[in-house]
């Protein structure tokens, strides 16, 4: 049986600059995958490529994207547009910019049912209210008559989710869906995504925060400077990261740490992808870097069943477990 979504060895370039390379992942129905990294790591580009929504200057230069066995890269614009409405959906960090400020929320959700399903105005309105109720918007019938600015940030994100799920897609990509929200609301939105996933939706959640991911996803791809540097199950990565960057992300995540531990940001900044560092791109920031890290680029390799790491010293990092972090603290 083919996978629902299968991305293999994806590369995305802006002119001569490879912003993403060698990225592979799969997602099944009812499964949730997280793509994690700092801004500029290529995590959003990887998922936009799946939807055929790359910025105009960017293009896929290598790799394969298969949706339910079909070659997505061979699809024409019209076919992709059709798929985006029916099977693939995306929500972004800032719902306000994605909503029309001058139309009521009920109208905007209803419009999807009118355009795509040919429903009457009244039927569409009823379906919009149902869609809003399903994502936990209280008093949906009355709220459907409100404008986007009349909703709180969390409720607005629910509206976006209602809109994205209205036509019952099979995959939802959530790009930093909770970044602008406070912790309580964030937890509610993540719970909502989790429920949908348990009901059979495939979910890709994109985040810079490994803690957010832990509560939502089963598997993770960690990206750095356009490459996947570690992948595996959330449980494995959490119990013992096999890449120093993952370890750093964990220490830097407000929600991945025990309350009594301090948040320790990773030293330095992500590299400029137009001139990435030699060898391992993480070496200037890596507390475990050694001579060879400056010259040899590590391959992403299997280090245990279901786990991959692109660190020369992955086994060592893995076996030393928490003591590595403790030794530094």
Contacting residues toward ligand SF4, per CB under 6 A: 243-244, 280, 282-283, 286, 288-289, 293, 298, 311-313
Q: Which two tokens stand for residue 95?
A: 């719902």
Q: Is 207 in the site for Mg ion (CB under 5 A)?
A: no
Taking the complex as a whole, the smallest distance from the CB of residue 286 to ligand SF4 amounts, in Å, to 3
**Does 44 participate in binding Mg ion (rule CB under 5 A)?**
yes
Tokens of 227: 């490459």
Minimal CB distance residue for Mg ion: 44
The piece of 28-36, 43-51, 106-114, 195-203 that touches Mg ion (CB under 5 A) is 43-51
CB of 317 to ligand SF4, least distance (A): 7
Residue placing its CB nearer to ligand SF4 in the complex, 153 or 277: 277
- Of 165 and 206, which CB lies nearer to Mg ion in the complex structure? 206
**Tokens standing for residue 307:** 């786990």
Counting every residue, how long is the chain?
A: 329
Q: In what order do the strands lie in the sheet with 5-14?
A: 17-27, 5-14, 58-67, 70-71
Which does residue 174 touch among ligand SF4, Mg ion, none (CB within 5 to 8 A, set by kind)?
none
The partner in contact with residue 286, picked from Mg ion, ligand SF4, none with C-beta cut-offs of 5 to 8 angstroms by kind, is: ligand SF4
Indicate the SS3 state at residue 61: strand
Size of the site for Mg ion (CB under 5 A): 1
Quote the CA–CA distance of 160 and 92 in Å, as a whole number. 8
User: Cβ closer to ligand SF4: 164 or 281?
Assistant: 281
In the complex, what is the shortest distance from the CB of residue 95 to Mg ion, in angstroms, rounded to a whole number? 15
Angle made by CA atoms 249, 250, 255, in degrees to the nearest 5: 115
Q: Are 157 and 97 contacting, i.e. CB atoms less than 8 angstroms apart?
A: no
Compute φ and ψ for 25, nearest 5 degrees. Answer: -160, 160
How far from chain centre, in Å, is Cα 154? Answer: 18
Q: Does 47 bind Mg ion (CB under 5 A)?
A: no
DSSP string, 171-226: EEEEESTTTTS-HHHHHHHHHHHHHHHHTT-EEEEEES-HHHHHTT-SEEEEEETT
244 binds, among ligand SF4, Mg ion, none (CB under 5 to 8 A by kind): ligand SF4
Residue 93 near which of ligand SF4, Mg ion, none (CB within 5-8 Å, type-dependent): none
Cβ 280 to ligand SF4 shortest distance, Å: 3
Long-range contacts at 97-101 (CB < 8 A, ≥ 24 apart)? 98/160, 99/148, 99/156, 99/159, 99/160, 100/148, 101/147, 101/148, 101/149
Least CB distance to ligand SF4 at residue 279 (A): 7
**Least distance (Å) between residue 17 CB and ligand SF4:** 21
Measured between alpha carbons, how far apart are the two ends of the chain, in Å? 47
Q: Which does 23 bind (CB under 5 to 8 A by kind): Mg ion, ligand SF4, none?
A: none
3-state DSSP assignment of residue 9: strand
**CB of residue 240 to ligand SF4, shortest distance in Å:** 15
* Complex with Mg ion: residue 44 or 231, whichever CB lies closer: 44
Which residues make up the interface to Mg ion (CB under 5 A)? 44
């Amino acid at each position: 049986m083919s996978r629902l979504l299968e991305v293999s060895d994806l590369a995305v370039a802006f002119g001569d600059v490879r912003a993403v390379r060698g990225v592979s992942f799969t997602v099944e129905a009812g499964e949730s995958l997280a793509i994690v990294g700092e801004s500029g790591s290529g995590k959003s580009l990887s998922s936009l490529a799946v939807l055929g929504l790359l910025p105009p200057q960017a293009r896929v230069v290598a790799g394969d994207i298969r949706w339910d066995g079909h070659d997505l890269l061979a699809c024409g614009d019209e076919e992709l547009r059709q798929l985006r409405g029916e099977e693939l959906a995306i929500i972004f960090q800032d719902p306000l910019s994605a909503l029309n400020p001058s139309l009521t929320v009920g109208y905007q959700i209803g419009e999807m049912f009118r355009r795509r399903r040919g429903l009457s105005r009244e039927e569409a309105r009823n379906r919009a209210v149902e869609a809003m109720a399903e994502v936990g918007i209280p008093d949906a019938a009355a709220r459907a008559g409100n404008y986007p600015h009349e909703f709180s940030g969390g409720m607005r994100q629910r509206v976006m989710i209602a809109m994205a799920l209205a036509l019952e897609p099979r995959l939802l990509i959530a790009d930093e869906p909770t970044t602008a929200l406070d912790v309580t609301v964030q937890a509610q939105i993540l719970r909502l995504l989790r429920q949908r996933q348990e009901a059979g939706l495939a979910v890709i959640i994109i985040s810079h925060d490994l803690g957010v991911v832990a509560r939502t996803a089963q598997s993770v791809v960690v990206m750095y400077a356009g490459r996947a540097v570690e992948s595996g199950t959330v449980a494995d990565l959490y119990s013992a990261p096999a890449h120093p960057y993952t370890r750093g992300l964990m220490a830097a995540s407000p929600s991945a740490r025990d309350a009594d531990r301090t948040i320790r940001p990773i030293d330095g900044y992500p590299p400029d992808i137009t001139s990435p560092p030699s060898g391992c791109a993480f070496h200037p920031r890596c507390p475990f870097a050694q001579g060879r890290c400056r010259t040899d680029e590590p391959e992403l390799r299997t280090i245990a069943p279901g786990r991959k790491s692109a660190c020369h010293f992955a086994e060592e990092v893995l076996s030393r477990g928490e003591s590595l972090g403790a030794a530094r603290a």
